Amino acid sequence: MNYLILFLAQTCYIATRAFQQLNVMHHKRLWLFWTSAVMAVFECTVFGSITFKAIDVFQSGKLIEFALLAIPLWLGGSLGSLCSMEIHKRLRK
């Protein structure tokens, strides 16, 4: 379950980060404040998930489980970036 939460949180976090970058590039000042607020929520979820998994790995000694966190981070980050680009493109039209 932790991997699914991490995947969803990473997707949303990277999507909002990419969206924020596009907002800055296109001078969408009104969107900056709210995008930052959403980013903060997902950033805490991502780092919290990683922290809880690190504690679990430390207690159990299963290092492979910690290494597997790269998969939802990678896939979530890729999907989040793609979604953000598409949403921003549609909002600008």
Block mean pLDDT (10 aa), the chain, length 93:
86 92 86 91 91 87 84 91 88 78
**What confidence score (pLDDT) does residue 12 get?**
93
Q: What is the 3-state secondary structure (H, E, C) of 4-57?
A: HHHHHHHHHHHHHHHHHHHHHHCCCHHHHHHHHHHHHHHHHHHHHHHHHHHHHH
**What confidence score (pLDDT) does residue 2 get?**
79
**What confidence score (pLDDT) does residue 17 get?**
92
**What confidence score (pLDDT) does residue 3 get?**
85
**What confidence score (pLDDT) does residue 1 get?**
60
